Amino acid sequence: MANKKDTSQGPRVGVVLCGAGRFDGSEITEATLTLLHLDRAKALISCFAPDSPQWSVCEHFGGGGVPGEERNMLVESARIARGEIQSLKESDAGNLDALIIPGGSGVVRNLCNFAEKGAKGEVHVGLARLIRSMHAAHKPIGAICIAPAVLALALGAHKPRLTLGPSNEGPALDAAMAGAEMEACDVGDIIVDNRNNLISTPAYILGQGPAEVNRGIELLVKEVLKRIGC
């Protein structure tokens, strides 16, 4: 059921980032496509990122780590948001109608420690607070690529229906152990959890290029907005 909000000035949608780059932060294409479709819908976008160091720094030409280098998630995410971004601690579910989390390996290292601890992982305190507040208010949350793992950890007690692409491989099995009900999903489709008001899509877990992952991301954004009466 859609939450009927006053969206006369545009739906208020939060987007959580955690750096700039698929190896150590947010996946830039997924984040950009999310922002594109929200902007086309005249959404009032608020980007957030933790004001703290990334778990690690990777160079994206060869994919290796950069020993001794430190980068701040908020500062790096500002590259994607063109400087229009706030610290995650400033986020307030009361000021948002919906929330979307793009993917990228940084999501399971910076926003939680799912990459290291799987089902026993924990979510960044500020993000866990925001997710649980949005969920308690039955406001829609979209999760792209690996980001559904964050929802599995934060909302596992509520048995969320989610996808990480294949339902019988490593990350999906760990998410299931955290309490999620995992479903297989094609790159161009979405999984909708009506009970918990969650929407997820595999994106680059399965996709090979921007046009391919765009299909699922566009569907996800449209479904999120539909649920707030847009």
- Mind telling me the catalytic residues? 145
* Token pair listed for 88: 């995650």
Q: What is the DSSP string of 163-175?
A: --SSSSSHHHHHH
Report the distance separating Cα 39 and Cα 82, nearest Å: 14
Best CA proximity match to 217, nearest among 49, 41, 12: 41
Q: Count CA within 13 A, CB hemisphere, residue 84.
A: 9
**Distance from the Cα of residue 193 to its chain's centroid:** 15
> With the C-alpha atoms ordered 21, 101, 87, 43, is the resulting torsion angle positive or negative?
positive
Query: Which residue(s) pair with 20 in the sheet?
Result: 26
